Chains A and B, each alone.
Chain A
Amino acid sequence: MSEIEPFVGIDLGTTNSVVGTVIDGVPRVIASRTGQILTPSVVAVSKNGKRLVGNIAKRQAITNAENTVFAAKRLIGRRWGSKEMEDARKVLPYQLVPGPEGHDVRVVLGGRTFAIPEVSAMVLAELKADAEAFFGRRVAKAVITVPAYFNDGQRQATKDAGRIAGFEVLRIINEPTSAALAYGFGKQMEKKVVVFDLGGGTFDISVLDIGKSVYDVVAVGGDTYLGGEDFDRRIMDWLTFSFAKENQGIDLRQDTMALQRLRDASEKAKIELSSAQSAAIHLPFLAAAGEGKAALHLAKQLTREKLEELTKDLVDRCIQVTERTLRDAGIRPAQVGEVLLVGGMTRMPRVQQAVKQFFAREPSRGVHPEEVVALGAAIQAHALLYPQKDREVLLLDVTPQNLGIMVVGGYFATIIPKNTTVPTSQTHVFTTVQDQQTSVRIAVLQGESEKAIENELLGEFILDGIRPAKRGEVEIEIAFDISADGIVGVSARDVDTGQRQSITVTATSGLTENELRRILDENLDELLERKQSGELERLRERSLAMIKEIESLVPQVQEAFSRSRFGKDALQKAESVVARARAAIASQDLQQITAMEEQLDRTVQLFKGLAGGAPFPGGEA
């Protein structure tokens, strides 16, 4: 291969996103076209209807709060009406509505509704454009990271977002694993590593056993609703409360613009307190005091001590989750060889101190907490695309939560326990409970509670077409598998007849395939389409030439096979390849033709070899 096709690794964060790649064996981040490493995960539609993404969207958030979407990651893959979604709704200034099927969450932006993966896709598309500007050509292949604790629905939705943005998503990998990969890349090490990842919206903890370039995840834990934004909110609450106390009960939360200014000021103060002991918060003209009175200003001094007091329980929660995860992994803090701090929130001195105290060791300072995840994703993309001789890498990740089904009594029966290495699969046999029963309804869930209702519902499956028989006579084997992406698949078959049963997904928290296709169609860039048609013409001609060549070789190949009892199926195979190639050409589908071109090429090579006078038993050399 003379030139390597460009690829990227993307850390799609709650507050900020980063894109990276590997060049000449060295991982590096790609700066945006305006020179920034971090791209805010913010999307907006301006007053004049323009779509804005990243820094520019973040800057106008104060004046256009209703039409600015941030922290979309908190909603991705969540079901409408779930506790997590309701919690998020209370604090987000933009409007949420249910999707057409009533299962997923949509946002209203500039008078239109968007599915959450569409919003995330806008951020991804921005990063894609940055990467394309950097490489000077099209970039399609990507590895995208998600918090280790993300469930199936959230992973699937993230993958959908990648597709909508025009990426071919090679793999969804976990953020802590990705960080460990970037940390260990190019080093020879044999040790247990703990990654403590406290980002903008999520907290993740992973325990890895690294050795011989194999990154074997032993256990993961986390909380998808614990991150930097929760720290910000504590400051905001403190500010609004004291403001109300000082100004006759004026509630700033009623004013979206004031709220947005408070949010920005809180985040700024928090960051400042990582290096300073005290931060001043000044927000002039924050609220109107009423008819004829001067506008009200906010001026407060926040000390590091006060911040630590306000957020003590959040830090404690992190340590509790860490403790539990280490127990799951079966190791003691003293056995840990390295602790990596990842995510902007780990810059807070109190967090570092808590980690140091728990592990009784100084955490590593060898990685850049904000870039490391994107770099690891880029390394994994590289490993998934090109064979590495000297710097081989193999990631073995695990499932974050128990996967199971709802059984009689509303209980949850675990089928694949958490911390199982993926890819994995497990089968479970069901029997019918009624005479002449022809369908079964199966609710697949993910979570850690014994009660089904307290876990996340991934989907409901209706299995029908079961052959009618007495109850208990039909046994249906359901196979659950989890891919390397952490995405769940379900299939079923009749144990006695071996016949596969159809499974219909009736409720998911994501987009349906049809909807995804519609969005993809809408997003199709006109320019891209034109470029493709030139490519299409070239491919068409090449394929037709190969078909002609194959057909001209058929008599010779038949002759060659005539004296042998072998090879008959080679001709049949070739016939079907030609037929499918013709169909692909007729459909004008670039992808299909590309796929067929390869098969045609192989057939041509085979036929040439066979017709080229290869001797057969009994023949003369």
Chain B
Amino acid sequence: MPVDQGFIFNPADLSEDVDLDVERRREILFTHAHLADWTHWQVLGLPWNATAEQAREAYREKVKIFHPDRYPAKRLGSFRARLEQVFRRLTEARDVLANETSRAAYASRTAPPDEFARAEARRLDDEGRTRERRARLARTNPIVARIGRVNELLQRGKQRMADGQFSQALNDFSTALAIDPALAEAKALAQEARKRTSADKAKELWDNAHAAEAVNNLELAQEMAAAAAEADPTSPRYPIFAARMALKRGALETARSQAEAAVRIAPGHGPAHEVLGETLAEQGDKGGAKRELERALELDPGLERARERLKRLRWSFLG
């Protein structure tokens, strides 16, 4: 499924009371969210310049997913309108791409920059005017213009950083780097922006994880927290939360790997040891559990849960 990692799902949509599984919801939400910025090829899941026949084929496959008639006697709630909109867009894409004339016009309009250059070069080659080609490329791509463009991008990126629009800023810096890969300032700025973007994303995922927990969808909460941990690998709170959710669901393997990750990130953080200790206790490793829980209390004597669990462990030693 073409779900990209950076896409944030609204937990309210994922938990709406309709007869659709989570996978299908994600697919619908993801596609629907991209209707405005995808090209006709992308909507149909095709590469640029795919043939008319491919467009027809892809359309038939896609409509099986996105036509409301494919969900007989199912409650679709807010997803019905989304499906209808996606269906309309698919049809529009098919109408343009399945017709050779409109397809060709659309292809030249949406050609990726390098394809464009290649096609242009090929054309000029055919005419055997290599020199003219060089002159033309130099004219359309002068070095002066490039420098101006880089400065412009850096300026805009900095402004966006200041406004808290980290992902857009990252975009600007990356574009600047693509034009001039040796630019040290852009490199540093891009790194900073990337860090801030991930932290931002992790924060949002973290909020969503809590929301999912509140509606008692522990699996989703765990997934969200794990995604947050992936986006921002510097904070232990994300893997700790993911481990807690997994522990509650009885997914001990996942709980353990998340808890261990938390300890790895912050070896001096009590709650990380606490959750690892609890997990080990559940897995039956009493010695390991005791060690981790004691370490947790050593680091942070206020951890009630660790104290409680340790007490129970000690009792069972005696018994």
Q: Which residue of A lies closest to B70 (CB)?
A: A394
Q: How far is the CA of A383 from the CA of B68 in the complex (A)?
A: 12
Q: How far is the CA of A423 from the CA of B84 in the complex (A)?
A: 8
| Residue pair A394, B17 in contact (C-beta under 8 Å) | no
Tell me how far the C-beta of A617 lies from the nearest C-beta in chain B, rounded to whole angstroms: 6
Q: How far is the CA of A425 from the CA of B85 in the complex (A)?
A: 9
Encoded as 1 (CB less than 8 Å from any A CB) or 0, chain B from 17 to 46 comes to 100000000000000000000000000000
Question: Known: A394-B70, A621-B248. Is A423-B213 also a contact (CB below 8 A)?
Answer: no
18 contacts between A and B (CB under 8 A): A211-B60, A212-B61, A330-B99, A384-B69, A384-B72, A385-B72, A392-B70, A394-B70, A395-B69, A396-B67, A396-B91, A423-B88, A484-B69, A567-B214, A570-B215, A602-B17, A616-B213, A621-B248
Q: How far is the CA of A214 from the CA of B87 in the complex (A)?
A: 14
Contacts of B99 in A (CB 8 A): 330
Tell me how far the C-beta of A323 lies from the nearest C-beta in chain B, rounded to whole angstroms: 20
Residues of A participating in the B interface, judged by any CB pair closer than 8 Å: 209, 211-212, 214, 216, 330, 383-387, 392, 394-396, 421, 423-425, 484, 561, 564-567, 570, 602, 606, 609-610, 614-617, 621
| Residue pair B215, A566 in contact (C-beta under 8 Å) | yes
Q: How far is the CA of A615 from the CA of B213 in the complex (A)?
A: 9
Residues of B participating in the A interface, judged by any CB pair closer than 8 Å: 17, 56-57, 60-61, 63-64, 67, 69-73, 84, 87-88, 91, 95, 99, 210-211, 213-216, 248
Question: Known: A385-B72, A423-B87. Is A617-B213 also a contact (CB below 8 A)?
Answer: yes
Tell me how far the C-beta of B245 lies from the nearest C-beta in chain A, rounded to whole angstroms: 10
A383-B72, A386-B72, A387-B72 known, 19 other contacts, Cβ within 8 Å: A211-B57, A330-B99, A383-B69, A385-B73, A392-B70, A394-B64, A394-B69, A395-B69, A396-B63, A484-B69, A564-B214, A566-B210, A570-B215, A602-B17, A610-B216, A614-B216, A617-B210, A617-B213, A617-B214
Q: How far is the CA of A386 from the CA of B69 in the complex (A)?
A: 10
- Complex partner residue of B211 from A214, A484, A566, CB under 8 angstroms: A566
Tell me how far the C-beta of A209 lies from the nearest C-beta in chain B, rounded to whole angstroms: 7
Q: How far is the CA of A394 from the CA of B59 in the complex (A)?
A: 12
| Residue pair A386, B73 in contact (C-beta under 8 Å) | yes
Interface of B is mostly: helix
For the complex of A and B, the 3 pairs showing the least CB-CB separation, nearest first, are A566-B214, A614-B216, A214-B60
Contacts of A423 in B (CB 8 A): 84, 87-88
| Residue pair B88, A214 in contact (C-beta under 8 Å) | no
Q: Which residue of A lies closest to B100 (CB)?
A: A330
Contacts of B70 in A (CB 8 A): 392, 394
Q: How far is the CA of A212 from the CA of B61 in the complex (A)?
A: 8
Contacts of A421 in B (CB 8 A): 91, 95
| Residue pair B69, A425 in contact (C-beta under 8 Å) | no
Tell me how far the C-beta of B19 lies from the nearest C-beta in chain A, rounded to whole angstroms: 10
Q: How far is the CA of A60 from the CA of B104 in the complex (A)?
A: 64
| Residue pair A214, B63 in contact (C-beta under 8 Å) | yes
Q: Which residue of A lies closest to B278 (CB)?
A: A621
| Residue pair B88, A425 in contact (C-beta under 8 Å) | yes
Question: Known: A211-B60, A394-B64, A602-B17. Is A424-B88 also a contact (CB below 8 A)?
Answer: yes
Q: How far is the CA of A602 from the CA of B216 in the complex (A)?
A: 16
Q: How far is the CA of A615 from the CA of B215 in the complex (A)?
A: 10
- Complex partner residue of A394 from B67, B95, B248, CB under 8 angstroms: B67
Q: How far is the CA of A212 from the CA of B17 in the complex (A)?
A: 31
Contacts of B87 in A (CB 8 A): 423
Tell me how far the C-beta of B113 lies from the nearest C-beta in chain A, rounded to whole angstroms: 33
- Complex partner residue of B64 from A209, A214, A621, CB under 8 angstroms: A214
Contacts of B69 in A (CB 8 A): 383-384, 394-395, 484
Contacts of B84 in A (CB 8 A): 423
Tell me how far the C-beta of B319 lies from the nearest C-beta in chain A, rounded to whole angstroms: 22
Q: How far is the CA of A561 from the CA of B72 in the complex (A)?
A: 35
Q: How far is the CA of A409 from the CA of B78 in the complex (A)?
A: 42
Contacts of B215 in A (CB 8 A): 566-567, 570
| Residue pair A615, B214 in contact (C-beta under 8 Å) | no
Q: How far is the CA of A392 from the CA of B69 in the complex (A)?
A: 11
Contacts of A387 in B (CB 8 A): 71-73
Q: How far is the CA of A421 from the CA of B94 in the complex (A)?
A: 11
| Residue pair B216, A609 in contact (C-beta under 8 Å) | yes
Tell me how far the C-beta of A492 lies from the nearest C-beta in chain B, rounded to whole angstroms: 18
Q: How far is the CA of A211 from the CA of B210 in the complex (A)?
A: 46
Question: Known: A394-B64, A394-B70. Is A209-B56 also a contact (CB below 8 A)?
Answer: yes
Tell me how far the C-beta of A571 lies from the nearest C-beta in chain B, rounded to whole angstroms: 13
Contacts of A561 in B (CB 8 A): 214
Contacts of A384 in B (CB 8 A): 69, 72
Q: Which residue of A lies closest to B211 (CB)?
A: A566
Contacts of B213 in A (CB 8 A): 616-617
Q: Which residue of B lies closest to A393 (CB)?
A: B69
Contacts of B88 in A (CB 8 A): 423-425
Tell me how far the C-beta of B124 lies from the nearest C-beta in chain A, rounded to whole angstroms: 34
Contacts of B95 in A (CB 8 A): 421
Contacts of A602 in B (CB 8 A): 17
Q: How far is the CA of A606 from the CA of B217 in the complex (A)?
A: 12
Tell me how far the C-beta of B275 lies from the nearest C-beta in chain A, rounded to whole angstroms: 13
Q: Which residue of B lies closest to A616 (CB)?
A: B214
Contacts of B72 in A (CB 8 A): 383-387
Tell me how far the C-beta of A267 lies from the nearest C-beta in chain B, rounded to whole angstroms: 38
Tell me how far the C-beta of B280 lies from the nearest C-beta in chain A, rounded to whole angstroms: 16
Contacts of A610 in B (CB 8 A): 216
Contacts of B60 in A (CB 8 A): 211-212, 214, 216
Q: Which residue of B lies closest to A218 (CB)?
A: B98
Tell me how far the C-beta of B8 lies from the nearest C-beta in chain A, rounded to whole angstroms: 17
* Chain B CB within 10 Å, residue with most, of A387, A396, A609: A396
Q: How far is the CA of A410 from the CA of B258 in the complex (A)?
A: 72
Q: How far is the CA of A211 from the CA of B63 in the complex (A)?
A: 12
| Residue pair B64, A615 in contact (C-beta under 8 Å) | no
Contacts of A396 in B (CB 8 A): 63, 67, 91
Q: How far is the CA of A565 from the CA of B214 in the complex (A)?
A: 8
Q: Which residue of A lies closest to B90 (CB)?
A: A421
